[in-house]
Amino acid sequence: MIAWLVRAILAGELLAALAAGWWLSSAAGWPPLAAGLVAAGLPALLHAAVIGLQSLSGAWHRARFARQTGGAPLPPGPAVRAWLGETAASLRSFALLMPWFGDTPLPTGRDPGRVPVVLVHGYFCNRAVWRPLSRWLAARGHPVESVNLEPPFAPVESYLPGLEKAVERLRARTGARRVALIGHSMGGLVIRAWIARHGDRRVAAVVTLGSPHQGTWSARFGMGRNVAQMQPGSRFLAGLDAVETPSVRALFTVILTLHDNIVMPQAAQTLDGARHRVLHGVGHMALVHAKQVRPHLAEALQQAEARGEAIERDEAGVPIAPVRQP
């Protein structure tokens, strides 16, 4: 469904670009070549303008949060870098990946020694946004599974059966007892809700990228019941906080960016008891593409593998060798 909606949006942008080119050439008297170049760049300019407005909102929230907490304001250079990178990531995701690859399986690895990974996308996206990251995971040997969260404007709870099936597909395919889950934006909340319903016995680790764990101010401008659940102070978020135990939170690595243009206030998106990794100069959609994220993902997955080996040794009754002091 998302793929068709995005195609419709792209068709609308194309028609608008053609109309603008025709008007510039016939009514405004521009040379045809100049009118065509402007028309061709119109969709990219539109994306850049929208993301620019979002980024300005994010800058206001950063400044407000810094005043409230006594923190220092951030320099402008990383904000400009985040805006440019987010524009490129948005065009890549919405013009290339999501419209055409949403139903295509993602690349997957086959190393039985690597923890399997389930990828859970965010609001108004589909699994195609993960293609670059899944190639990186596959190259490292990780078996990969994914979901399409549909319908796009439904409550978060409606996505849990699909995630349950994805987890079981991956466990059946690999024979693994536990899987790691990586969620972008709303996908991190879907993972939390799934754990709240099904428990953490099959979970090796959770990594969230730009997830609105404390809600986001921009949710008031979205559509759907899932957006209402992502507003600060929502009953849904309070319910997750109420049921998560310290042992569940210890499974989480929260990766956030202080230049997030969607989830704000940015520095507040934390989870008590989780590990946190804070990035600069990266936008919201860019988190699924940014190479700055990958070392933190590798660290979390390696820790999950070590933890899984320790659990298996303990369950098998294998004694752990004492550590020799130098």
Angle at 187 between CA 212 and CA 116, to 5 degrees: 130
Q: Using an 8 Å Cβ cutoff, are 296 and 276 in contact?
A: no
pLDDT at position 43 = 87
Name the percent of the chain lying above pLDDT 70: 97
Name the residue ranges covered by the structural domains of the chain.
2-101, 117-313
pLDDT at position 311 = 79
Per-residue confidence band for 48, with pLDDT thresholds at 50, 70 and 90: very high
Residues 204 and 187: their CA atoms lie apart, in Å, by: 17
Name the percent of the chain lying above pLDDT 90: 86
Condensed to tens digits (0 to 9), the pLDDT of residues 15-40 reads 999 999 999 999 999 999 999 998 99
One-letter amino acid at 315 equals E
At CB < 8 A and 24+ separation, what contacts does 171-174 make?
171/116, 171/202, 173/116, 173/143, 173/145, 174/112, 174/116, 174/143
Residues 164 and 268: their CA atoms lie apart, in Å, by: 29
Condensed to tens digits (0 to 9), the pLDDT of residues 171-197 reads 999 999 999 999 999 999 999 999 999
321 has pLDDT over 60: no
Classify domain 117-313 at the CATH topology level. Rossmann fold (3.40.50)
Per-residue confidence band for 313, with pLDDT thresholds at 50, 70 and 90: confident
Rounded to an integer, the average pLDDT of 283-306 is 97
Q: Using an 8 Å Cβ cutoff, are 51 and 57 in contact?
A: no
Mean pLDDT for all residues in the chain:
94
Residues 28 and 20: their CA atoms lie apart, in Å, by: 10
Condensed to tens digits (0 to 9), the pLDDT of residues 258-294 reads 999 999 999 999 999 999 999 999 999 999 999 999 9
Residues 198 and 286: their CA atoms lie apart, in Å, by: 30
Query: Do the bridges between strand 144-146 and strand 203-209 make them parallel or antiparallel, or are there none, so unpaired?
Result: unpaired
Rounded to an integer, the average pLDDT of 235-258 is 98
